[in-house]
Amino acid sequence: MRHYRRLPIAALALAATGFGNAPEMVACHGSFATLARGFVTGRPSELNFVVWWETPAIATDTGRTGHITALTALEIAFEVQYDTYKAIYRINRIDGTISQTSNFGGVFRGVCELKPLRTKF
């Protein structure tokens, strides 16, 4: 089953080589960790981002824009300012792993895959 994940993950790396000029969806599945009664608990979560590789630009699937801080063949790093906090994301473009931290202490860990962008309009 592991080799089936490699194709979508490899597409994240290919986008840096000139492929993937159209906007694409980066769909991430993982767990958002919080502190509850002194213990870290994980809550299954999904994060989705729209990436314009050629521009380059990134936004959440709800339209909130992000600021790309690094875009290499190895990673894409970006920040998103939400109403009450700033989230910092790092996606490893080789294995598809994502990590997210914020200034309020939450942590998200998961795996991303590249999907075609579908709009609701």
Note the pLDDT of residue 61.
87
- Ranked by mean pLDDT, the top range of 4-8, 15-19, 105-109 is 105-109
- Alpha-carbon dihedral angle through residues 61, 62, 65, 68, given to the nearest 10 degrees: -30
Distance CA 66, CA 72 (A): 16
Note the pLDDT of residue 102.
87
For the cut 50, the answer to whether the pLDDT of residue 1 exceeds it is no
Note the pLDDT of residue 53.
87
**CB of 8 closer than 8 Å to CB of 20:** no
Distance CA 64, CA 45 (A): 18
The class level of CATH for 2-116 reads mainly beta
Q: What is the pLDDT of residues 52-68, one digit of tens each?
A: 988 899 999 888 999 99
Distance CA 120, CA 45 (A): 21
Note the pLDDT of residue 41.
66
Whole-structure pTM value: 0.77
Angle formed at CA 71 by CA 120 and CA 80, multiple of 5 degrees: 55
